[in-house]
Amino acid sequence: MKISQELKNTNSLKYDGIKDKFKSDDLLPMWVADMDFKCGDFIYEDLRKMIDRNHYSYKIIDDEFYSSICKWQSRYDVHITKENILYSSGVVSSMKACILACSDENDNILIQTPVYPPFYSSISVLNRNVIKNPLIIENDEWVVDFIDFENKIKKCKMFLFCNPQNPTGKVFNKEELEKLFSICKKYNVIIVSDEVHSGIVYDKKHLSLASLENFKDIAITLNAPSKSFNLASFSVSYIITKNINMKKRIRRILNKYDLNTVHSLGIQATISAYNKGDDWLKETTTYLKENIDFTISNIDKKIKIIKPQGTYLIWMSFENYNYTHKELEDILINKCKVGLNSGLDFGENSSLFFRLNVATSRDILEEGINRLKMINL
């Protein structure tokens, strides 16, 4: 993997944002979900052609963008055409557009916790109610409490789903998906499935909501090349639905709030990633998997980890240390000097969890793992 050694002083949120986030600037940044890896050369070459023209006028989004998405999605058995796709300036923007288009103020929207913080804020800022179905641990695996899910979903308008799941790294299997979605269908609940981490899955196949024809009338799938190809700052994402009526409603919201402005470089980067990025992604996923195995083998044994099945994030429990959340936070920042995401941002029951991003070089990862051992001193 080519590692970007020069990320410091490039306005990198992960590296240069550390001072703002942790009030300390000598931490090893292992927080925000992006990778330290350089993008593939195929992206550089295609973007350079655009830069060389030095001409940034208004652009049209041509069919190549849509066909690259259709081609990419077919690897997940998603069979769609341009008519099933809307684009937007980010997955969180898409999420908000779907909430606005397909629910009303004071409606209940269910999420499975712990989860990526904007799942909470997107619902509450739009004056809908957050209903939580906590994921539970059984036999060393994150699983769904289906009884709780059914009891709660029947009073909800929408299920805001995350698969692969951030932060646990859970990749839902077919049986779980069929069961969850059948319950949604029974109560006529719309499913919005955020699948932005679908490119990084280990030893398993990602199963997309959009591939399950049985649920197409209630299904909206969100995706983007940002996580798989490290393109977050390009602000490009897309929404897939086969329900023409829902599509119209979402498009109206995207237009109304200008949530569908995307940069031409981002459109090109998406096309390049999806048409040429297969080998790069395979190589990256292999490296990430080895990083996860390396972490599990070498990290302090008191830290409890359920091995992620996807994503480059490790959700770590520090409950064996007998520290409070505040004490842990203080030790991690001031003694270990490692910048991790705090569990509390992902759910109130996660105060003894922290999230580690392993998308970095093995050397940096090893340094982070060694620094974490300072917790015992």
- Binding interface with ligand PLP (CB under 6 A): 33, 90-92, 116, 162, 166, 194, 196, 224, 226, 232, 237
Strand locations in the chain (E): 28-29, 85-88, 108-111, 129-132, 136-138, 141-143, 158-162, 190-194, 219-223, 237-240, 304-305, 313-317, 338-339, 341-342, 353-357
User: Least CB distance from residue 92 to ligand PLP, whole Å?
Assistant: 4
Spatial separation of the C-alpha atoms in residues 78 and 85, rounded to whole Å: 12
Spatial separation of the C-alpha atoms in residues 179 and 160, rounded to whole Å: 15
Identity of the residue, 218 or 231, whose beta carbon is nearer to ligand PLP in the bound complex: 231
State which H helix or E strand residue 276 sits in.
Answer: helix 264-276
Identity of the residue, 235 or 298, whose beta carbon is nearer to ligand PLP in the bound complex: 235
Ramachandran category for residue 241: left, alpha or beta (phi over 0 → left; psi -120 to 50 → alpha)? beta
Residue 32 DSSP code = S
Identity of the residue, 200 or 336, whose beta carbon is nearer to ligand PLP in the bound complex: 200
User: Least CB distance from residue 370 to ligand PLP, whole Å?
Assistant: 26
Q: Contact 149/184 with Cβ under 8 angstroms?
A: no
User: Least CB distance from residue 36 to ligand PLP, whole Å?
Assistant: 15
Identity of the residue, 222 or 336, whose beta carbon is nearer to ligand PLP in the bound complex: 222
Alpha-carbon torsion angle 122, 127, 133, 137, nearest 10: 40
When CB distances to ligand PLP are compared, the closest residue is 90
Q: Which two three-digit tokens encode residue 182?
A: 């059948």
User: Least CB distance from residue 195 to ligand PLP, whole Å?
Assistant: 8
**DSSP code string of 95-114:** HHHHHHHH--TT-EEEE-SS
CA–chain centroid gap for 4, Å, is 21
* Lookup result for tokens 């606005």: 100
Q: Which two three-digit tokens encode residue 299?
A: 């990290």
User: Least CB distance from residue 115 to ligand PLP, whole Å?
Assistant: 8
Q: Which two three-digit tokens encode residue 251?
A: 């498009």
Identity of the residue, 202 or 331, whose beta carbon is nearer to ligand PLP in the bound complex: 202
User: Least CB distance from residue 335 to ligand PLP, whole Å?
Assistant: 27
Identity of the residue, 61 or 244, whose beta carbon is nearer to ligand PLP in the bound complex: 61
User: Least CB distance from residue 78 to ligand PLP, whole Å?
Assistant: 18
**Cβ partners under 8 Å of residue 372, min gap 6:** 299, 300, 303, 332, 336, 338
**DSSP code string of 310-346:** BSSEEEEE-GGG---HHHHHHHHHHTS-EE-EEGGGG
**Cβ partners under 8 Å of residue 120, min gap 6:** 111, 130
User: Least CB distance from residue 55 to ligand PLP, whole Å?
Assistant: 27
Identity of the residue, 91 or 336, whose beta carbon is nearer to ligand PLP in the bound complex: 91
User: Least CB distance from residue 76 to ligand PLP, whole Å?
Assistant: 16
- Helix or strand or coil: residue 144? coil
Identity of the residue, 128 or 170, whose beta carbon is nearer to ligand PLP in the bound complex: 170
Identity of the residue, 224 or 254, whose beta carbon is nearer to ligand PLP in the bound complex: 224
Identity of the residue, 130 or 374, whose beta carbon is nearer to ligand PLP in the bound complex: 130
User: Least CB distance from residue 49 to ligand PLP, whole Å?
Assistant: 25
